[in-house]
Structure 1
């Protein structure tokens, strides 16, 4: 793609939208500029445009997104069959194992949840379709990164702001690349309280009919009930069974 094919203003508007999140549901012009790296004048124009079009509210100082913004995410969820295909399988899996189960896809340095069946809330944040987590320290993220060519996976890890969410979070590039190699060899990833203390998870890849990894499936459990060392023994077989059932249904 040539630079002349890009619409700069549109790209800047998307950066402003992505600056909002659970930790910052309201942004001033100065805060939006700081979060996006845009100058204040550009951030102001983008925010006022969103407000004019009904995608944001403005109280004179702070902007906040309106429910209208959900149209953008719903366009993807309604256009792709993946959530509709996997949801019944997730519901049955979650009921069978008594834990939450999810499916996500890779989006840059993050994973994005596309479907979820929740038995209980195992994280302090409320995960749902559309939720994002850093790929480098999530079980589904490591499965999806491991499916990429090594150079591409390394580039994404290098580009990620590798924050240590807990004392157990792996952030060093060499250590993460070793983890990915282990995922390729074992065919699954286990996370031991790297995203949040008290949470363990296990993930497997979901292959499509053409043999490529199209998504990842995971089960999350409280570490006090299921230690990381027991995750594979308890859940791997049933998860691989679900992945096998889904394979002929996924493109």
Structure 2
């Protein structure tokens, strides 16, 4: 290995190596895993991790650590001219045409989801939702995907503050039922909500990850009588996951960076 120049700061290299150790396949890492990934002692790895927690780039999740949205600040100057909605729009348009359904991209804001991009299908039953509108996260497929992906403590805090109400006869009835639904969504990686917020609407959602960072949730709205629930997941999920990956890659995801 070539000798490093006098100005070279080894700790800077290791700090970046810690952040890069997190990816789509390693969204949560322990001290031991980080130590092995960057070839340092557990004590050194712990110091790097705790420093990054103090700086806001990582958060503790039990004995493991996860990245926070602040990691996006590192590339903010490069990406400042390109917003997530701008990147997502052509992909949402293509998916809407392919499925003949309304597509949307949402983010989580406390107890609500916030629509940041939406491509409407004129023939679909309308809830009169547009970009910038909010809906209760617990009652939507997008919200359940986003909440399910939160660290356990943040997820429990969300549940403690959730104010359930009966929008329809199919609306989730209790916090216990909602918690069980979130566990299922986290395990399977997608959410299907059928007429819980509106009698004329079903929604299927998947997460959009940029590396290890959750950017938002991709949603397709489906009329109740148009397609069966089994067909929704079989026919739409592969296309939605492909679209989510394309959005993340175009926004500077890890896959795009490697190509």
TM-score interval (norm. to shorter): 0.5 to 0.7
1:188-207 paired onto structure 2 within 5 Å: 188-207=190-209
In structure 2, the partner of 1:112 is: 114
Q: What secondary structure sits across from 1:104 in the alignment?
A: strand
TM-superposed CA distance for 1:196, in Å, is 0.8
TM-superposed CA distance for 1:155, in Å, is 1.6
Greater shift in the superposed pair: 226-235 or 100-109: 226-235
Q: What secondary structure sits across from 1:106 in the alignment?
A: strand
In structure 2, the partner of 1:226 is: 227
8 Å CA contact 1:204–1:216 kept in 2: the answer is yes
TM-superposed CA distance for 1:121, in Å, is 5.7
1:66-85 paired onto structure 2 within 5 Å: 81-85=83-87
Please, what TM-score do these two structures have when normalized by structure 2?
A: 0.63
1:90-105 paired onto structure 2 within 5 Å: 90-105=92-107
Residues 46-90 of structure 1 show CA distances to partners (whole Å, capped at 9, x for unaligned) of xxxxxxxxxxxxxxxxxxxxxxxxxxxxxxxx9871111101100
Higher relative contact order (CA 8 A, sep 6+): 2
Runs of 4+ in 1 over 6 A off after TM superposition: none
Cα distance in structure 2, aligned partners of 1:80 and 1:129: 18
Q: CA RMSD in A?
A: 1.8
CA distance change for structure 1 residues 227 and 193 in 2, over 3 Å: closer, same or farther? farther
Q: What secondary structure sits across from 2:166 in the alignment?
A: coil
Gap runs ≥5 in structure 1: 1-77
Gap runs ≥5 in structure 2: 1-79, 253-259
Q: What secondary structure sits across from 1:126 in the alignment?
A: coil
CA distance change for structure 1 residues 154 and 198 in 2, over 3 Å: closer, same or farther? same
8 Å CA contact 1:105–1:112 kept in 2: the answer is yes
8 Å CA contact 1:100–1:118 kept in 2: the answer is yes
In structure 2, the partner of 1:173 is: 175
Please, what TM-score do these two structures have when normalized by structure 1?
A: 0.65
- 186, 189, 200: which is aligned to 1:187? 189
Cα distance in structure 1, aligned partners of 2:108 and 2:135: 10
Residues 134-172 of structure 1 show CA distances to partners (whole Å, capped at 9, x for unaligned) of 000100000000110122112212212211111111141
| Residue correspondences, number | 173
CA distance change for structure 1 residues 189 and 243 in 2, over 3 Å: closer, same or farther? same
In structure 2, the partner of 1:245 is: 246
